[in-house]
Structure 1
Amino acid sequence: MSPVADFLIGVLVVCLLASGRCADLPTGTFGVDCLDRYFRLGFDTTFTGEDVRFEAVDDTGVHPITEQYAAECGYSVNVRPHLGFAELRASYFSCTALNEDDETFTFSFNMIVTQDGVEETYDVNKTCTLALPWSSRELNCEVNYMELTMRKDVHFPGTKGAHWTSAVDNVYGLAHDDWQVLFQKGDQQFSPITLSTAEENGYTISMTRGRYVFRMPYGQPDSTVTLVDGVTVDTVHATLFTRKGWTVLVVDLLAACPMSDGFYNDSSLVWLNPLETGETDQQSQRLRIGANGQLLEPVEAAARGYNMEVFGSQVQVTIPFDAVGGYKKSFVQHNIYSEYYLFNMYFENQFIDVNQMDTRLRQYRPLVSPLLSWPKICINQTVLSEHTFTVYIGVFAEDVQLTALMLTGREYIGDVMNANISEVFHPNFTHGYTLGMRFNHPIVPMELSEEGILQYTLDMNFTLSIMPAMVESFYHHATVVAVFKDVFPPIFEAHCYEKGISFKLDLGPFAYLWAVYAGPYPLTEVFAMEQGYHLINTSEGQILNVPLFSTGYIYKNIGMKTFEATFEILVRGLKSLKVKGTTVKTCQFATTELIVCSPKGHVTIVANMSAIPSAGDPYRISLLNRTCGAKESDKSSALFTFGVQTCGTKVKLTNDFVVYENEVVFEPKILTEKGPPRLAMEAPERITVQCAYHLSGLYRLFQLHKFVSDYAGVGSIRHDPHFVQQKMAFDGNDPAAAPLLNVSIAEEIMADKPTKYSKVVYFLKDLVTARFHP
């Protein structure tokens, strides 16, 4: 947690004791702590406001904590409104603390907050129990006062200098039953004064059950200011004495505190402190540092980046700018992001003097950096192979929040449209943001040159605001580009197999750039299934098996034995749909039976005639119109080529299709033996051929009366039993005499001559004409 978060621990205790009015303030405003040697109340001025004051409360009444009262009575108020940070610290021996046996200390304060002209008072009460035993002698160097406490059994030291001997000689002749204090300033000694007079002069000299307490503000008239190893030291030397019968009780009170506030060096806060501050023959036993009134063991301090080094008689403490335990505050001026950094350093020097008295010297020093302007760090962490833009922006203090984001002119915030924005937290209470966006996101502009250079560009504009008021905002614009080389449309591998053509496509990392088309149709799984294609997706790509006679084939060089089939795969740009590549494969197949319906209305048929006895005679085989004979024929098959509007082709209409139908017919033998001529029954099978064209592709037919289809037709050949049972002799005398077909009527129908049998044909023609002329 941050220092402010540390201060806010214990908010429940404060609220419960705040006369029920703490609920008016946001949760987390206050925090109370009992530390080793003092009580602390921390609060966030962002919520409480800068106008905050305190009163100490005890049995004698209410005492406003003014600057002078605080220094004399053991209180420190540190309010830094520009940082949104404030705290009250109270010594365990402060004036209004209730002390029980130097072990338990109870504090009572009024906190007065003024907001919008309204003043509210909050009662803050806390009892602290001593966690660390007292040393024989302890010196606390606060920011506004010095406080020395000693065990009562420590009186006349065994070894002191000439100044001490002179002071002792004087007090023996001046001592009486009341306590007196004698101040020394260098070689100069002042006249003894009573404790009440000392109190009037700003000193606090008191005695608890087991300790002497000596406290004073810095800069007293009786103090001595010296320069020790380049650091100013404020020293106060007093002798406390009284007479008890024939015995004179003498207590030496020497308090010396360094006044170093530290300085900022490059990227760290530096604090210098002399190891000897007026003591003689002092031997340091242990040095420790910490933050916010809590000392740390050396290993933990080093892990936080705190560095403490001893150079001769001087110790140097270095705190990195963003070390854990510090507190940052952000500011914006002219779109320049700046920060303050506050580190409440806590330092302890444990030493033993020449009289083997153990002493703890503790110093609390807020180290504050100047207002520092930081460039916003924007790091392009994009890895091309991941095909995702990854951009980091930071590092910001806790009070900075990303409030808006513009990507290529469109506003996003949060995880929207695959613009994945995640917050990245760092161990020093700073944070940043990482933006992730796929290259193929619709808003990312893409350019692909003919030379195979693929470029993606992401334009970003971040808006960051200082919280919680969001009054101050700053902006950062950045553009990142991802470039790939040798990016070309994929090429299918194609090969022939017995029943069709197979295509294999290695999709590769840029498959999303292209759309694969089979003719005019995008090749999707649904479309492939509808057309009878076999589309197989593998981890490496796609395999498309296109069976013969499926939609999309072009047939050429059709012969009685073989024919050629061609299938084309188109690769189009996904956005432009412009053709970027083609794969054309032509294969030769053995001819068995086929029908081809071309977009121009040409029909080519290779019909299986093996079931027709007269198939070997090409002059006896034709279409419905007898003038349309076979181009080639043999005993097993016949080849026909004709137009859909010729050769007696019939027309049928459905809701979606125009169907052109014809038949392969033959001329029966004429029998003349033993009677009049008649037709022999030789039609065990009828061959019906059809070409179906979708109406949506025949708009030219309706407008121009010329057959042109956008797409090839779908053909079919059907072999049906054709036992004609019409019994009609040539002379018409006995219809049941023999199973013969009236040739003249059949020929008239086939020749489109008007007969009673052709009414249906003309009806269909009229219907088609009506559809042609809406």
Structure 2
Amino acid sequence: MEFGFLTSLLSFLLLCRVAKSATFPDGVHHTECYDRYFMIAVDHSFTGQHFYFEAVDGTDIYPITEQYAALCGYMVTFLPAAGRVELRASYFSCHTNNDNDQIFSFKFNLIVKNGEDSLYALNETCSPSLPWSPREVTCEVNYLEVSVQSDVTCPFAPKPNGWDPSLEMVYRSAAPGWQVAFITEGKAMTPMTLNDARLNGYIFNMTENRLVMRAPYGLSHSFSTMSDGISLEVVHAVLFSRNDWLVFLVDLVAACTKNDVLNDYNGYIISETPTALYPGLQMTNFSFGLNGELWESSMTAEMGYALNVTDSRVKIGIPFNAEGTYRRSVVLDDLYDLYTCHFALEQMSALDGGLETRVRTLRMLSSPLIKRSLFTENRTVPAEQMFTVYLGNVPDDVELASIKLADREFKAPFVNSSLYTLVIDSQDNAQAWTLKVPFASPFVSKRFSIENEATENKLDIMFTVMVRLQQELYSYHTTVTAFTSVAPPEFDTICSESGIIFKLDHKPSDFLWAFTVGLDMLTPELAAKRGYVLNNDPKMLQLDVPLFTQGYVYENITLKGFSGTFEILVRDHNTFNLKASSVKTCQFTAKEVVACSRDGRMTVKVDLTLATQNGGTPNTTTLVEETCGPKEADSTGALFSFPLNSCLTRVKLIQDYLTYENEIFLSLNSTTISSSILVQCRYHLAGLHLLFSRYKFESDTPGIGNIVHPYTPGLPVTATNPTTRPPRPTKRSRGLTRASKSNGNHLGYKNPLNYMSLTKRYNNFQERI
């Protein structure tokens, strides 16, 4: 029973009532006449929490409290899962107008407090569809009721000694006027008047054709007994009166199953009752159903009900999902499902060839609390850079109250934003929620997982739901993780006047990477060899790359300046595969610079300040080939740019390097006296494979440039040593002779260091490495 909220309110509501009559809106209530009772159902959304019923007769109005309902034959119950309030009234209830036990008229008021009291009148007339049996017992939720036919002829017993001993005592104590004696466990208690019986909670009523007794459960004159392990509550009253030498005795006995033990048997709500509620009676037929409907037992198997009938008991199993059952959520220490049903059972019993007894049991049966297991699915696709978390098996009678992400709580109503997105999906008798949170959210914690060699993204989520009817909160916690591959590191870069600075903060994932300049590992040994400045402390790696050290690529060289680019490659430490790079290009100015391109071109800016002081003119400078003049020249310097296979450039193979060199000649005092500056480009043989496979110059890396001035072959290099330009060699005597016209990118030189000789030495080098 769920009387608690009704009773607590009535003490306040009944103090003062001034109700305004109103009319029911359409669809919020309905009434129905059943075989032995009248029912009113009203939507709870209409009544709210503050309401009560009144019974009305021709003389007065009677508020139906919990105690008064059990005394007078009413049952008020709240069905949370069905969302309605029900009032059931026995045909023999206190304030019902009874016309010959065939026509029963009911009048009730529903009082609803919604700012002011509103009164809704409910009137109905019912007639039973089945004839009355000689004895009928109703086992309601809050009371039991028995009625017997008043014109039954009693068999003559000439010798009182043949009676039951308890009845003999009643017979001997009979006096004028009606009295009642209660028999408890075979012993008759002291008789009392009907008024005294009413004071003790018992109602006796005499209609046109029947004698009626009604009593709430648990009174002092009732007793409990067991029948085949099933608990029964029994009220046994003997109503009697003496008229001269005649004694009238009416034996009124009612036995009802308590059903105080709730059972769950493989998904069924269980009801059990003895087949013989009264000694000597045998059950002849039974039927049962939900919500006032009764079905013959032969129909129930195909409806999914479980039925087991033995000589001693009837066991009925109602499936949780049967039509007419209700589920609702309950929060205690956890979230649970509670299944309930309004169950009705009718048993017909009789003595052999004797009068029939009809027992009708009305019960709100419930399952035990069944734990409701919510579950989450991590549907995250790491490539989307977003958590996708699915929460399923959510009951349909709860609503989401809040979501807590890490240490921040978001309460309903929820507004989707860049921090999260929530999608609600309604399903049959359930709902599901999908939550999306970006990896970049501040609520997502990150750490590097050494065992997975990946970044672990972790998100703590707390879903808090509220059961609508119970207004209780339940929280469900889950933690989801997703691994994402670690992005290659990227250096912070700074341009300075003297070079480029690379900085990188250390991270736990550093061991995944190898840093190289070209194909060479960036190590302290390499830095020292090439003139880099490398600092590597526990917090940061810093590399200072001075201008003109190996690894630079120089472009857009003019007399006014040039761009210098340096690149650090990031490779997979295990496979050495290239993963990323940090490239920085800066603008520089310098008096001299030489660039050796990968496609075989030398670009050189030389400082001719000293030479011009001795009368030289920069714009008259040439290379060894006199027709190869400067691209640009000003008062202090000249800029040359030429293919390595032109301008009589010489080529030398020294150890593992191929060196191309030319000279810049500046005429001084006369046409025969000149100053010479040596310019060089050096390439490692390992990077020139196309030169020897396709006869095409292409280097894996830029060459290393060098400027030497003043330069005189065979003489010390000094600023005051003029050189005499060598005689222009004949076509036959030139050290390097163009073998054929080329497109400027093919090797085309003969003796003394011819192509075949270079190829042979290159192959020897390849074998060596």
TM range (shorter): 0.3 to 0.5
TM-score, L = length of structure 2: 0.47
